[in-house]
Amino acid sequence: MPLEPNRREVMQRWFRKPGAIQPPGNPQITQQAHVLNRATFGADAWSRARIATLGWQAWLDEQLSPDSIDDSAMTIALAAMPPTNNQRNRARREYLFRCARSRRQLQHRMLHFLSNHFNTDIAKTSGVTEVYDTTNYTRLAFANFFEVLLWSAKSPAMVVYLDSQTSLPASPNENYARELMELHTLGVYGGFSEADVSAAAKIFTGWRVQSGPPTVSGNEPSSARFAFLSLRHVQGPKTLAALGFSTPGYAGSAGVREGEELLDFLAEHPSTHALLSMKLCQYFVADAPPAGLVQRVQQVFATTRNLGQTVRAIFYDSEFFTPQTTREKAMDSIESMLNVVRRLEVNVSNANTLATLSNLLGQPALGESSPTGTPETSAAWQGPGQVLPRWNALAAEVGGSLPVSWNTLLGSSPPQGAVAVTDFFLNLLVDADVPPATRMALTFFFANRLAPLGSNPSSAVLQPHYRDFVGLILRLPEAQLH
Amino acid sequence: MTCKCNHENAGDAEKPGMDRRTALKVSLAAVGAAALAPRLPAEAIVRPRMPASRLPGRATVVVFERGGWDALQLFAPTGDANYALKRPTTAIGAPGSGAAVTGLAMNSLFSMHPSMPGLHSLWTQPASRLAVVHALGYTPYHRSHFESQDLFETGQFGVVNADGWINRHLQATTGISTAPVRALALMNSLPRSMDGVFPCFAFSSLESLQFQATQPDLRAYLETIVDYTPTVGLSAARAGSYAGMKSTFDLIDMFSGINPATYVPQNGAVYPNTAMGSSFEQTAMILRGNLGVEFIQIDQGGWDHHADLFANIPTYAGALNGALSAFVQDMGADMADVAVLCMSEFGREVSENGSNGTDHGVGGAMMIAGGSVLGGQVHGAWPGLATSALAEGRFLAPANDFRQVILELLMDHMGGTVPSTVFPSMTYAPLGVF
């Protein structure tokens, strides 16, 4: 639907004015806003207030000690969800709800990273094992990498997803062995050979899941629990010649140690340190993170092997907050949805909505089918295939299945007039980080909405216009970045 | 992904948005008048074209079968004595052999998977336009999904960030078309084959190509902002966000004339109600829309069957069979202008594993339909399944290079290309598929 010609012309003239466009390259946002963009799924009121009180460094250190943060509001809200008998649905909605509502945001940013790095597809696995996965990658968010790797190898979801479950000694299944080295640790050029894949496949024979009695601890599913079946294990010595790893082979139940030792070896390998450091820097900093930063981070990772220390090094690095890194990451589709939920303080009373929206956006939660997981780079999330569902599904849901309490959001003294309202929502939704001409166009939009409403329109009269305005801002190019 | 193709970056501020719209409409009108007169570079080799039919030009549909399909199940070498020996549990039997699962006769050596009866009837009909190239691959081979998919989609070995083969062909033939969209993928992200400097596009479906908003003025404001904000000098992610949105508006406009709700397949074709059925039906709509689209890619995932072939393969083979059969029927005589290539990143290991599945292998197969394909034949050399003939004693040897089939497609069916641009270092040696 075209604008009236004169209005369009007015808008176009703004974009041609000298000074309407700021030269690129200056950070438009504060360090606190930048830290919140990368360490949370979007700045909500609580995290804004908290970081303002503590300063970004103390705030970050608090986030790195998640158990010190009271998260009872989230757990109470989760417990109050309408029940579901569908375990897959439960796993998906809990994953999204925790990411949306936990105050332990950085821990959940790591959950998002790790569950993608060690991707399993809920269509092939099961709801209970994915809940177990989510619980453990949250628990291990800042752990030593070997611990995480060891857990992933024995995760019932992983054992099923990469076919260790059906591997037999006579003809071992290579699926897990290959992706372990190619995707989880060394990388495709990380130094392993095809013969190494075959040898590693033998090492992981007998790694199974089976049912057992229920336990009281954690969420461990009694129907699918890791077990080492020595009768299904290839006996004798194995050698990964290209990598320089060998094991004499252990008899009986000790055979599981062969795999554990290989995982330890892989966790210690420089190729693994390089791969994980780079991927974490891409996730938290930029698609092409500064080389010096990557080098320093890799040094910390190789020295400590610890994810918490490594993440801390990323945020504390002198090149983390620069003109080249702010708003230089496109959000993936789940991140973009959670960003809307958090910045608008959406009251998600039924988290099924989030799972359904993730489907509509083309990134079904826990449902990526390829073992690579989804890409960490921006370009993969910026094409029409991503833009359209965000424009159509996400913005349309604001005020619908994503209810917004405008009165709460705008506070007791709401902004008056088009300029103040524009500033308010730009600050809330994109850290005020848009070109001046865009700000003018938006102001013009809202002024045109206000004009027919007379003076002092009631809040009820204004709400549909707020909704449209927020829908417009959320569709901006800048609103897809964080 | 929007390619590396901000087709409108420099001088954005001085370039009014309506000009972009107008230019688009002009070029669309030109395409409507069949503007595909070949103007190939001098070094290109141009083959004579088939007699013209109702489509404005030739088109290719690529179906990438992701996961590594088991070519030894789909096109089973039932006449090779080593086949059943190496797959005691999961071999497809020859027709009438009394095996648990028997195939459909292709010739004395091969049988087609029984879940593909529609494709089999295309195979057996007179003047068949359905062919298979078996023992297909490349050397030195890779057995990683991601590495091998990259190599299949770029055809460039040892080159980091190479452009895809479709993209390079489009670069080599910029003169022959003014169509704003020469290649598109019906999926969320651009496949590697189309990635590169030539603008290519991806979107999930025609239905998705609509701007929906609570109020109509939203689009006008957003479009003005996106069109007029200069992106010169912006960082990559910011510029990418603008470029992606410009492409989105372009695509919405360009395909607005095609209404999926009113499309009626021809010749009594009925598309199955599956993802593949929908993708093929949308492909037919786009080709019949006469917009000058030359390449459409639609992928089928899920072929990584490390376990239980008999339970898993029928689902995927059946989905492909139903959708491709309906497409061929729908296109009817126009199939002379359309070639469909179904390819996968590798075949599976010749011997089955202990899970009644198969692990990653090497030599696979490509299935080609339509165009002037010499069908009802398995093309290329067949190295056989004797252990001595296998790569490393385990894998079907990649006797036939997939790039030769693609080159033949481009040279013959698509009217010509510049081989040295598409596959540098290849010597063109067609297998005679077309």
Give me the pLDDT at residue B176, please. Answer: 83
State both tokens at A391: 């424009």
* Cβ burial, residue A217 (10 Å; 0-12/13-18/19+): exposed
- Whether the per-residue pLDDT at B254 is higher than 50: the answer is yes
pLDDT tens, position by position, A29-84 = 899 999 999 999 999 999 999 999 999 999 999 999 999 999 999 999 999 998 88
Cβ–Cβ gap A471/B221 under 8 Å: no
**Partner-chain residue, chosen from A382, A389, A472, that has the shortest CB–CB distance to B222:** A472
Cβ–Cβ gap A173/B357 under 8 Å: yes
State both tokens at A236: 């004798």
**Partner-chain residue, chosen from B226, B240, B351, that has the shortest CB–CB distance to A379:** B240
Strand, coil or helix: B63: strand
> Closest approach of chain A CAs to the CA of B357, in angstroms?
9
Give which of A475, A478, A481, A482 to mutate to test B binding, by max B Cβ within 10 Å: A475
Closest CA to B369 of B331, B397, B421: B331
Q: Is residue A363 part of a domain?
A: yes
Cβ–Cβ gap A438/B229 under 8 Å: yes
Q: What are the φ/ψ torsions at residue A16 (nearest 5 degrees)?
A: -95, -10
Question: Which is higher by pLDDT, A264 or B48?
Answer: A264
* Cβ burial, residue A222 (10 Å; 0-12/13-18/19+): exposed
Asked if the peptide bond before residue B117 counts as cis, ω within 30 degrees of 0, the response is: no
Long-range contacts of B108-111 (CB under 8 A, 24+ apart): B108/B79, B109/B77, B109/B78, B109/B79, B109/B80, B109/B378, B109/B382, B110/B75, B110/B76, B110/B77, B110/B78, B110/B79, B110/B134, B110/B378, B111/B75, B111/B76, B111/B78
Write out chain A residues lying below 8 Å of B235, CB-based.
24-25, 324, 328
Bridge-based pairing state of the strands B111-112 and B104-105: antiparallel
Return the DSSP state at B411: I
> Closest approach of chain A CAs to the CA of B223, in angstroms?
10
Cβ–Cβ gap A383/B190 under 8 Å: yes
Cβ neighbours for A202, distance < 8 A, ≥ 6 positions apart: A169, A172, A234, A238
Long-range contacts of B267-271 (CB under 8 A, 24+ apart): B267/B329, B267/B330, B267/B332, B268/B329, B269/B326, B269/B327, B269/B329, B269/B330, B270/B326, B271/B322, B271/B323, B271/B326, B271/B327, B271/B330
Give which of A176, A388, A394, A478 to mutate to test B binding, by max B Cβ within 10 Å: A388
- Whether the per-residue pLDDT at B414 is higher than 70: the answer is yes
Under 8 Å CB pairs connecting chains A and B tally to 220
pLDDT tens, position by position, B174-197 = 888 888 899 999 998 889 999 888
Give me the pLDDT at residue A239, please. Answer: 98
Tokens 């009373």 label which residue?
A: A349
Angle at B360 between CA B131 and CA B70, to 5 degrees: 30
- Number of domain units in chain A: 1
Cβ neighbours for A139, distance < 8 A, ≥ 6 positions apart: none
Write out chain B residues lying below 8 Å of A288, CB-based.
236
- Whether the per-residue pLDDT at B36 is higher than 50: the answer is no
> Closest approach of chain B CAs to the CA of A392, in angstroms?
5
Q: Is residue A420 part of a domain?
A: yes
> Closest approach of chain B CAs to the CA of A436, in angstroms?
10
Task: Give the residue-averaged pLDDT of A340-352.
Answer: 94
pLDDT tens, position by position, B114-172 = 999 999 999 999 999 999 999 999 998 988 888 899 899 999 887 767 899 999 999 99
> Closest approach of chain A CAs to the CA of B175, in angstroms?
26
CA atoms within 13 A on the CB side of A302: 14
Write out chain B residues lying below 8 Å of A472, CB-based.
218, 221-222
Give me the pLDDT at residue B8, please. Answer: 35
pLDDT tens, position by position, B220-239 = 899 989 998 888 888 899 99
Give me the pLDDT at residue A14, please. Answer: 67
- Whether the per-residue pLDDT at A1 is higher than 60: the answer is no
Chain A residue at shortest CA distance from B208:
A388
Instruction: Compute the distance between CA of residue B259 and CA of residue A3 in angstroms, rounded to an integer.
Output: 25
Give me the pLDDT at residue B7, please. Answer: 36
> Closest approach of chain A CAs to the CA of B80, in angstroms?
22
pLDDT band at A219 (very low <50, low <70, confident <90, very high): low
Instruction: Compute the distance between CA of residue A353 and CA of residue A361 in angstroms, rounded to an integer.
Output: 12
CB A253 within 8 A of CB A230: yes
Alpha helices in A180-255 (DSSP H): 194-203
Cβ–Cβ gap B2/A379 under 8 Å: yes
> Closest approach of chain B CAs to the CA of A80, in angstroms?
32
Cβ–Cβ gap B221/A178 under 8 Å: no
**Partner-chain residue, chosen from B220, B225, B353, that has the shortest CB–CB distance to A173:** B353
Give which of B223, B248, B346 to mutate to test A binding, by max A Cβ within 10 Å: B248
Cβ–Cβ gap B229/A380 under 8 Å: no
Instruction: Compute the distance between CA of residue B62 and CA of residue B341 in angstroms, rounded to an integer.
Output: 5
C-alpha distance from residue B31 to each of A255, B173, B185, B289, B333 (Å) = 67, 16, 20, 11, 21
pLDDT tens, position by position, B331-368 = 999 999 999 999 999 999 999 998 999 999 999 999 99
Please give the full DSSP string across B8-59, using - where no structure is assigned: T-TTGGGS-HHHHHHHHHHHHHHHHT--------TT-B-PPPPPP-SSSS-E
Burial track A187-204 (b if 16+ CB lie within 10 A, e otherwise) = beebebebebbbbbbbbb
Instruction: Compute the distance between CA of residue A401 and CA of residue A396 in angstroms, rounded to an integer.
Output: 9
Q: Is residue A57 part of a domain?
A: no
C-alpha distance from residue A370 to each of A100, A357, B302 (Å) = 25, 20, 9
Amino acid in position B268: G
CB A383 within 8 A of CB A332: no
Give me the pLDDT at residue A16, please. Answer: 67
- Whether the per-residue pLDDT at B396 is higher than 70: the answer is yes
Q: How is chain B split into domains, by residue range?
A: 12-422
Give which of B4, B7, B9, B218 to mutate to test A binding, by max A Cβ within 10 Å: B218
**Partner-chain residue, chosen from A23, A175, A481, that has the shortest CB–CB distance to B241:** A481
Cβ–Cβ gap A370/B244 under 8 Å: no
CB B329 within 8 A of CB B381: no
Give the strand order in the sheet containing B104-105: B75-76, B111-112, B104-105
C-alpha distance from residue B22 to each of A47, A241, B248, B358 (Å) = 47, 63, 16, 54
Find how far residue B89's CA is from the centre of its chain: 32
Q: Is residue A396 part of a domain?
A: yes
Write out chain B residues lying below 8 Å of A437, CB-based.
225, 228-229
pLDDT tens, position by position, A4-34 = 656 667 666 766 665 555 544 445 789 999 9
Give me the pLDDT at residue A213, please. Answer: 66
Cβ–Cβ gap A382/B1 under 8 Å: yes
Return the DSSP state at B205: -
pLDDT band at A162 (very low <50, low <70, confident <90, very high): very high
pLDDT band at A214 (very low <50, low <70, confident <90, very high): low
pLDDT band at B207 (very low <50, low <70, confident <90, very high): confident
Write out chain B residues lying below 8 Å of A438, CB-based.
225, 229
Amino acid in position A267: A
Give me the pLDDT at residue A156, please. Answer: 95
Average pLDDT, chain B: 87
Closest CA to A478 of A51, A10, A7, A29: A29
Query: End-to-end CA distance of chain B, in Å?
Result: 33
Q: Is residue A123 part of a domain?
A: no
Query: How many CB atoms are located within 10 Å of the residue B211 CB?
Result: 18
Instruction: Compute the distance between CA of residue B24 and CA of residue B27 in angstroms, rounded to an integer.
Output: 5
**Partner-chain residue, chosen from B17, B214, B302, that has the shortest CB–CB distance to A396:** B214
Domain that residue A20 falls in = 5-36+329-480
Number of H helices, E strands in chain A: 24, 4
C-alpha distance from residue A314 to each of A62, A292, A322, A339, B6 (Å) = 16, 11, 13, 22, 31
Task: Give the residue-averaged pLDDT of A318-326.
Answer: 93
Query: How many CB atoms are located within 10 Å of the residue A123 CB?
Result: 14
